[in-house]
Amino acid sequence: LALPKRQLDDIIEMIYQLDKLAPGTANYDTLLYGAEVKFYSARLALSSELETALPGFFAAGDGAGITRGLAQAGASGVKVAQVILNRLK
């Protein structure tokens, strides 16, 4: 599973509590499904340096709508860091 243990424990506890209201919920045949939803079409307007219209405010990674994964998100963060460091020189 890709869930932290605490969240998984909370889900299991919820199932047992729900079983008190709806008997049969907590059994070996119960399956839980969770969909991961991503919105890749929502993109910020960014310069080639990943700067927003607000000077000095940068956006990187999946939240900016420009990447689709850890490697690309990390690379965009490195790019922003390099731009900021160059501006501080």
The two three-digit tokens of residue 23, written as one number: 């008997």
Alpha-carbon gap, residue 70 to 59, rounded angstroms: 15
Alpha-carbon gap, residue 27 to 84, rounded angstroms: 55
Q: What is the pLDDT of residues 6-59, one digit of tens each?
A: 888 999 999 999 999 999 999 989 888 776 656 566 788 999 999 999 999 999
- Whether pLDDT at 79 is above 90: yes
**Pick the residue with more confidence: 81 or 61?**
81
Alpha-carbon gap, residue 53 to 45, rounded angstroms: 7
Burial of residue 26, with CB atoms counted within 10 A of its CB: 0-12 exposed, 13-18 middle, 19 or more buried:
middle
pLDDT score, position 38: 62
Comparing C-alpha atoms, which of 51, 87, 85, 84 is closest to residue 66? 51
Map out the domains of the chain as residue ranges: 1-37, 39-89
